[in-house]
A and B are shown apart, each in its own frame.
Chain A
Amino acid sequence: MSVLKEWIFTTDHKKVGLLYLIGSMAAFAFAGFSALMMRAELSSIGPTITNNPGDYNVWLYFHGAAMILGFQIPALTGFLANYLVPLQIGAKDVAFPRINALSVWLFYMGLILALLTFVVPDPPDVMWTGYPPYSTITFANTALYTFTVLLLGFASILGGVNFLTTIAFMRAPGIGWNQLNMFTWCTFAAFILQLIFVPVLGTAVTLISLDKYLGTHFFDPSSGGDVLVYQNLFWFYSHPAVYVILLPFIGIVFDIVATFARNRIFNYKAAVYGGVGGILLLAGEVWIHHLYVTGMPDWIRVGQMVTTLLISIPVGLLFISLVGTLYKGSISFETPMLYALSVVFLMLIGGLTGIPLAIVSLTLHVSDTYYIPGHFHYVMAVAGTFAIFGGVYYLFPKFTGKMYNEFVGKLAFWITFVGVNVIFFPMMIVGVTEGMPRRYWDYAQFPGAEPYQYWMTVGAAIIGVGFLLVLFNWIHALFAGPKAGNNPWGSRSLEWTTTSPPLDHGNWEEVPKIEEGWGPYEYGTEKT
Chain B
Amino acid sequence: MRNNRLHRAFTALPFVALPGGASAEFESIVEKVEDPAAGFDHLWFEVMVDITIIGVIFALLALYFLFRYRRRSPGEEGTQKPLSNLNIIGWALIPAFVFMADDFYMAAKGWQLYDTYRRVPENSLEVKLESAMWTWDYTYPNGVKTYNELRVPAGQPVVLRMTSRDTIHSHFIPDFRIKEDSMPGRVTYMWFYPQKPGEHIVSCAEYCGQLHSRMYGKVIVMPRGEFDSWYQAEAAKLDVKLTKLSDNRGAGQK
Contact = CB atoms under 8 A, between A and B. Distances in A.
The answer to A–B direct touch (Cβ < 8 A) is yes
Contacts of A523: 77-78, 80
B79 A356 contact: no
A359 B47 contact: yes
A301 B114 CA distance: 10
Contact of A261 (B69, B88, B102): B69
Contacts of A302: 111, 114
A328 B78 contact: yes
Interface string A286-317: 00000001110010011001100110110011
B111 A305 contact: yes
A305 B110 contact: yes
Contacts of A434: 3, 174
A364 B80 contact: no
B78 A264 contact: yes
A116 interface: no
Interface residues of A, number: 89
B110 to A, nearest CB: 4
Interface stretch (B59-67, B122-130, B135-143, B220-228): B59-67
B167 A331 contact: no
A387 to B, nearest CB: 16
B178 A364 contact: yes
A333 B118 CA distance: 52
A225 B186 CA distance: 11
B207 A127 contact: yes
Interface string B70-94: 1110001111111100011001100
B95 A330 contact: no
B69 A326 contact: yes
Contacts, number: 276
B201 interface: yes
Chain B interface size band reads: 35 or more
A156 interface: no
A57 B214 CA distance: 13
A109 interface: no
B10 to A, nearest CB: 6
Contact of A355 (B47, B76, B168, B174): B47
Contacts of B186: 221, 227-228, 295
A433 B166 CA distance: 30
Interface in B175-217: 175, 177-181, 183-186, 188, 201, 203-214, 216
A432 B6 contact: yes
| CB-CB nearest 8 A-B residue pairs | A221-B185, A435-B174, A263-B78, A359-B110, A295-B188, A326-B65, A440-B213, A270-B92
24 contacts: A127-B207, A133-B166, A134-B208, A137-B166, A221-B183, A262-B77, A262-B78, A264-B81, A294-B188, A312-B103, A316-B99, A326-B62, A326-B66, A327-B80, A330-B69, A331-B69, A344-B58, A356-B51, A359-B107, A359-B110, A360-B110, A361-B117, A434-B3, A446-B203
